[in-house]
Amino acid sequence: MIPVTKPYLPSREKLDKYIDGIYGRNWLTNNGPLVQELTRRLEEYLGVENLLLVSNGTLALQIAYRALEINEPVNGRSAEAITTPFTFVATSSSLKWEGIEPVFADIGSDTWCLDPNNIKPAITSQTKAIIPVHVFGNACDVEAIEGIANENNLKVIYDAAHAFGVQYKGESLLKWGDAATLSFHATKVFHTIEGGAIVFKRKKDFEKAKLLISFGITGAETIEGIGINAKMNEFQAAMGLCCLDEIESILSSRLRIIEQYKEKLDGLVTFPVWKPQTSQNGAYQPILLDSQETCVEVISNLTKQKIFSRRYFSPSLDELEEISIEHISQTSRDISKRILCLPLYSELSNSDVELICSIIQITLNTKGNL
């Protein structure tokens, strides 16, 4: 069996040493020494400041919304945030959970990221923020989005769940926006089993978020606001430190696999157009087929060989009544019907990639796509 992804498991010996330390200190949570160490090392590795570790990537979004106060009502009604329908559901469901109405703007047909040209028409008197997604680690048009935000006095929070380690113009992509959130879920390039982080542009927002993730508690007998429990624990941090020690090997192997996919499938399928001067981290291997029927057939033929793929992201979120009302994004709906993410993880062998590509080639040849 070839799964669509597989969590990376680092050196057990190294992990055991970290766990021995946890047992010795008997300090399991509440900003323990491993959480502090991981924070320092991630800031150094990523080239950022004001990085706050949290217990998962969805809470990272929710804390960022509250730290930047975009959850506060406007004119007695729910605030609105403009976002993309082509993403994992957490981007929008976290907005709804915080009482913010997601307003969808369509994506670009080549990059599959939020198209800045579609943001302006969606701005209303209720709009407080833009929530773009660096889809599959591909950078949004950050300059254009920043310009729109500045003109309209809007906050920008990037869902950068896929963008760990990605650089744009030689600097961390996470530096763009008022905040950028990361997911450290087990399936991500870098993981802490479950977990996430927020990178804030401003120190004051970072300090506010620190209170929010720990019930607003500032001392043994001091509470300075309403918060929640979103702290990362020491066991999560231990896994993260081990994975960070091996991150260059992880990235190298994933990028090798992506290059192999591109070499074998070039001309047969469509790949996203990468924003110039943006590095890749091998987070996903998406391909776009010519039709929904072709996509379903490729999935079926792969599954017959116990090879599992996923239709990230389908359906387009503007099709979900629970999230969206009358926000139709035609490009997102079209791409969501034809998108497919192929297996990608560090241990995936060259022969496995060869097999996957051969099945896709045979399927498309049979349909007369050559």
pLDDT for residue 369 is more than 70: no
What pLDDT, in 10s, does the model give residues 297-347?
A: 999 999 999 999 999 999 999 999 888 766 789 999 999 999 999 999 999
**pLDDT confidence of residue 323:** 84
pLDDT-derived band at 225, boundaries 50, 70, 90: confident
Quickly tell me which residue has 């929640």 as its tokens. 228
Give the model confidence (pLDDT) of 91-122 as tens digits: 999 999 999 999 999 999 999 999 999 999 99
Q: What is the per-residue burial (b if ≥16 Cβ within 10 Å, else e) of 287-324?
A: bbbeeeebbebbbeebeeeebebbbbbbebbbbeeebb
- Mapped onto helix, strand or coil, the DSSP state of residue 242 is helix
Q: What is the pLDDT of residue 325?
A: 63
Q: Omega into 3 within 30° of 0, i.e. cis?
A: no
Q: Which residue segments constitute the domains of the chain, with CATH numbers given? A: 12-245 (3.40.640.10), 247-366 (3.90.1150.10)
For the segment 128-138, the average pLDDT, to the nearest whole number, is 98
Q: Please write the tens of the pLDDT for every residue from 251-300.
A: 999 999 999 999 999 999 999 999 999 999 999 999 999 999 999 999 99
Of the listed 128, 155, 188, 201, which one is catalytic? 188
pLDDT tens-digit readout, 42-87: 999 999 999 999 999 999 999 999 999 999 999 899 999 999 999 9
Query: Taking Cα atoms as reference points, which of 93, 102, 182 lies closest to residue 137?
Result: 182
* pLDDT the model gives residue 345: 97
| Residue 203 appears among annotated catalytic residues | no
In the chain, % of residues over pLDDT 70: 98
Quick check: bond before 190 cis, omega within 30?
Answer: no
Q: What is the pLDDT of residue 152?
A: 98
In the predicted model, what is the mean pLDDT of residues 3-27? 97
Question: In the chain, helix, strand, coil percent, each to 5?
Answer: 40, 15, 40
> What integer best gives the mean pLDDT of the chain?
96
Tell me the whole-structure pTM to 2 decimals.
0.96
Task: List pLDDT tens digits, range 343-356.
Answer: 999 999 999 999 99
Task: Give me the mean pLDDT over the 27-34 stretch.
Answer: 97
